[in-house]
Amino acid sequence: MPDNLQAPDPLDVVMLVDDDAFILDVMAEMLAQIGAKQILKLDNARDALKSFAVRHPSLLICDLSMPEMDGIEFLNLLANMKYRGFVVLHSGVKPGVIRAAEHLAKANGLRVLGTFEKPIDKHALMEVLRRFAD
């Protein structure tokens, strides 16, 4: 095996999915500050699914509570598509709901790096990504 093989960088292409435009802008700015190379902002899960046909994000940061298609349904569809990137969940719902969504996502084979209540703290997100890199 070559020595130069590295784990994929979760900040190569980051997809943000949240129905709140303000949260999308704040998270995109935060991710740019910590080194995200390309940031895709989508305000609904249906458009995010369409984007997966063209883009393959290395990191997905997804809200759980969205209209039309919630984050749990979206994650189930991604699991069926065999998404191999990393997932961070965030939401304003109760912590128990976030933990349940994390367990479900992991049971379906998704690689969940962490879960957060809104808003995501930049330093906490950096710590989750740093643990991945180590």
Residues contacting 47, CB < 8 A, separation 6+: none
Kind plus residue range of the DSSP H or E element containing 113: strand 111-117
Over the stretch 85-109, which tens digit does the pLDDT of each residue have?
Answer: 999 999 988 888 899 999 999 999 9
pTM here is 0.88
Best CATH choice for the domain 13-117 from the list 2.20.25.10, 3.40.50.2300, 1.10.220.10, 3.40.190.150 = 3.40.50.2300
Q: Indicate the SS3 state at residue 49.
A: helix
CA-CA-CA-CA torsion sign (62, 64, 66, 70): positive
Taking residue 58's Cβ as centre, other Cβ atoms within 10 Å add up to 18
Residue 5 confidence (pLDDT): 37
Over the stretch 37-84, which tens digit does the pLDDT of each residue have?
Answer: 899 999 999 999 999 888 889 999 999 999 889 889 999 999 999 999
Kind plus residue range of the DSSP H or E element containing 92: none
pLDDT classification of 6: cutoffs 50, 70, 90:
very low
Over the stretch 106-132, which tens digit does the pLDDT of each residue have?
Answer: 999 999 999 998 888 888 888 888 776
